[in-house]
Amino acid sequence: MPRVNVIFVRGTVARLLPFLENLLEHTDWDFVTVLNGCATREVELLEAARERHGERIVVRVASREVVLLHGDVIARLLADEPSPFFCCVDSDIFAMRPISLAELLPAEDEVATCSGLPMWRVERDDVMPEGFEVASGRFLRTSNGDFLGCTYVVCYRTAELRATVDRWGLPLVPCDWDELCADVQLELDRRGLRRRTYDTMTVANILVQRPDRPMVYRDIPGLLHLGAQSSLNENVSWLRRPLRHVTWRWFPWAFRVLWRARGMSSAESKSAADFARRRGEAVRLADAMVAGRARFEDAPEWVGGVDEFEVLATMLGPTGGRRR
């Protein structure tokens, strides 16, 4: 059976290690914990987790000190994947019930599955409206029904993804249209999927599919994604944390001006700002939980219930294992 890759970016291990412990408790998954620019103390935390859980965890260093682009780390992992399935989960995913790897693996006629939309997403995020030019990971499909997928929780058939990446010479990092080779541009044009910008893995998700072999979204009840935490540096001082909150609260609307100047339509810039605003709510909620001052009555409405709130508060709170 494949191992599930979970990438930890520098400054996130102490906060997000309890999420990994939660998955170890509630799933039958084995993990490769991938360190992207992590500090020595963070390596020690993951090595200690490996010692506690034995063969269920492998620790791999993708980069020391320097944080690589997420897509570059994915490319390295894909090149070395020994299993027929290549699986990745974000480091802020958790489970509310027992979950089997079989729930994530593609069916016989599927090339890949994805799951784990953030808790704070809303239904209007699913379809990329006509005229939008940024094929970002927040949209599952276009208005024409073409599936774009997401990479929060994802499982590909390794050989088919690897063959697609090699055939087209695909970058797995975010890229603009003019950064794609001519053959890829022609194929995307043929499919009516020309856009100005593509998010991490989006072009690969498009090209790995065939009409008879799709990538699909699979809802896995009980598998939840807090979102906005997997690149959030925990080493920000408490003096600077209020500034982080102000930034997350106001930057989306301030940056609408910049996005408009770069050619983004008013509707698309407004949509992107609203999405970023909800991400900011997740950041503020997590910081309040870390400080031990979050209350369910004050939580955003997307927190589904008391049970989910308490699991999150336990994992993120002062006694949640962050300082192991």
267: domain range? 237-316
- pLDDT tens-digit series, residues 248-264: 455 555 555 565 666 78
Virtual torsion, Cα 12, 14, 19, 25, nearest 10 deg: 150
Q: Is residue 279 part of a domain?
A: yes
Q: Is residue 255 part of a domain?
A: yes
Q: What is the pLDDT, as a whole number, of residue 162? A: 98
Q: Is residue 38 part of a domain?
A: no
d(CA 223, CA 297): 23
CB 154 within 8 A of CB 146: no
d(CA 182, CA 277): 36
Q: Is residue 244 part of a domain?
A: yes
- pLDDT tens-digit series, residues 72-128: 999 999 999 999 999 999 999 999 999 999 999 999 999 999 999 999 999 999 999
Q: Is residue 40 part of a domain?
A: no
Beta sheet of 134-135, edge-to-edge order: 134-135, 197-198, 175-176
Q: Is residue 309 part of a domain?
A: yes
Q: Is residue 55 part of a domain?
A: no
Q: Is residue 241 part of a domain?
A: yes
- pLDDT tens-digit series, residues 157-189: 999 999 999 999 999 999 999 999 999 999 999
Say how many domains are in the chain. Answer: 1
Query: Tokens 């103390």 label which residue?
Result: 41
Distances (CA, A) of 249 to 155, 237, 244, 284, 299: 33, 18, 9, 9, 16
